[in-house]
Amino acid sequence: MAHSQDILVTRSSMPSMQEYFEEVASLWDTHWLTNMGVKHQELERMLKDYLMVPNIALFTNGHSALECILEAMDLEGEVITTPYSFASTTHAIVRKGLKPVFADIKYDDYTLDPESIERAITPRTTAIVPVHVYGNLCDVDAINAIADRHGLKVIYDAAHAFGAKRRNVEGIWEGAASFGDASMFSFHATKVFNTIEGGAVAFKDDGLYEVLNQWKNFGIMGPEDVEYIGGNAKMNEFCAAMGICNLRHIDEELAKRKQVAECYWENLSGVEGLKLSLPSHDVEYNYAYMPVVFEESAPLSRDEAFDALASCGIGARKYFYPLISDYACYRDDYDSGNTPTAQDVASRVLTLPMYADLPLDDINRICAIVSGQDA
């Protein structure tokens, strides 16, 4: 069915072939392809700078990064998180032997509702894993206050939030990596910033750097010393090199995405019943996704819009649908009725095609279809 006119929901950003080849050429001299080589070190340096954080550890993907930081924090018991996310968030918690407890989201930005977090806390709660959904930063001050009050760790799933910033109450700009005890980023091919596959954890506690490096390398402490039952989650040099190239162009990437987003918003903001995610002031948005919630009064339902786009060869994603708590592997243990806002949004949301080079003509066509103007 796929043909050349298809518009996909996303399209990976790449440097020029020339730039990438120049970046990786030295690897033919050194033959050092993985295990924290020079590209790995360089990318860590660049990312610390860009994300304005003291510590960062790279991983083979975001999911492994999240599993590793949960492991390194040595948590037990219950972890409060959101059912309105990608499978990875809850899977990482469960795979580390922890029990996920789902709190509800806020309708305005789809991130965890601090009041719902508070209600989900029990004596067994040890951490909160919130998600900056679509790059919308969570209510970090309220979450921080809850964590302080109850002595909980906060580990953000910041997979969507690379490049997002906010101005805090003191007027200081803070990047998405600044909040909680640690933040996981995904550098998957579909994300705003990619290393083909890749991920990272940014964190406050300097002591965690060595521990994370050991966890991602089989728990090896030295040539004859293996202390932890670690896994293998190292980023290789070719992926790090892709990251170095893509990070050079990140400002341009965000500027192009901004143009795409503004074209969508201009087209769609007057349409009754379509709820858009417009950035508030004091926020620098990263334009990672183009979520639209089809409310009752919208010209089409979410599923009608999805089908109308599909019939024109345009990909959209029901993202996030179903809720994680409705997956076959979780639904026997959870009732999504306990998170009614998440349940409602999941049944109405569509993310529209969003990438830096999406032509404006295509956006106009997509907007006409979802507004019911195009038969």
Q: Among residues 275, 368, 246, 263, which one has the least CA distance to residue 314?
A: 368
SS3 category, 370: helix
* Residue from the set 83, 199, 230, 279 that interacts with ligand PLP by CB under 6 A: 199
Cβ proximity to ligand PLP, 89 vs 236, nearer residue: 89
Q: Which is nearer to ligand PLP, 89 or 336 (CB)?
A: 89
Determine the distance from the C-alpha atom of residue 197 to the mean position of all C-alpha atoms in its chain, rounded to a whole number.
13
Question: Residue 204 Cβ, how far from ligand PLP at the closest point, in Å?
Answer: 21
- The token duo for 289 is 């996704």
Cis peptide before 291 (omega within 30 of 0): no
Q: Which is nearer to ligand PLP, 160 or 165 (CB)?
A: 160
**In the bound complex, which residue of the shown chain has the CB atom lying closest to ligand PLP?**
62
- Binding-site size, ligand PLP (CB under 6 A): 14
Q: How far is the CB of 111 from ligand PLP (least distance, A)?
A: 11
Alpha-carbon distance 16 to 129, whole Å? 37
E strand map for 138-197: 153-157, 165-167, 173-175, 182-186
Three-state SS at 310: helix
Smallest distance from the beta carbon of 131 to ligand PLP, in angstroms? 5
Task: Kindly identify the residues of this chain, within the stretch 289-348, that bind ligand PLP according to CB under 6 A.
Answer: none
Among 186, 286, 336, 339, binds ligand PLP (CB under 6 A): 186
Min CB(233)–ligand PLP separation in Å: 10
**Bridge partners of 290?**
352
State the nearest-atom distance from the C-beta of 106 to ligand PLP, in Å.
17
> Taking CB under 6 A as the criterion, which residues in 48-77 touch ligand PLP?
61-63
The CB-of-297 to ligand PLP minimum distance in angstroms stands at 29
Shortest CB 250 distance to ligand PLP, Å: 17
Residue-by-residue DSSP string for 58-93: EESSHHHHHHHHHHHTT--SEEEE-SSS-HHHHHHH
Give, as ranges, the residues between 113 and 172 that touch ligand PLP (CB under 6 A): 131, 157, 159-160
Among 39, 40, 165, 188, binds ligand PLP (CB under 6 A): 188
Nearest to 284 by CA among 172, 372, 124: 172
| Residue 197 CA: distances (Å) to CA of 86, 132, 140 | 16, 20, 28
Question: Which lies closer to ligand PLP via its Cβ, residue 110 or residue 306?
Answer: 110
Element of type H or E holding 259 = helix 250-268
| Smallest distance, ligand PLP to C-beta of residue 84, A | 10
Instruction: Give CA separation, 365 vs 151, 255, 291, 331, in Å.
Output: 51, 22, 17, 38
Looking at the Cβ atoms of 152 and 184, the one nearer to ligand PLP is 184
Tell me the C-alpha distance between 20 and 281, whole Å: 37
CB of 174 to ligand PLP, least distance (A): 20
Of the candidates 39, 5, 45, the one whose C-alpha atom is nearest the C-alpha of residue 23 is: 39
| Residues 74 to 103 in contact with ligand PLP, rule: CB under 6 A | 85-86, 88-89
Give the closest residue to 187 by CA, choosing from 306, 65, 62.
62
Nearer to ligand PLP, 186 or 286 (CB): 186
Q: For residue 94, how many other CB atoms are within 10 A of its CB?
A: 13
Nearer to ligand PLP, 65 or 293 (CB): 65
Residues within the interface to ligand PLP (CB under 6 A): 61-63, 85-86, 88-89, 131, 157, 159-160, 186, 188, 199
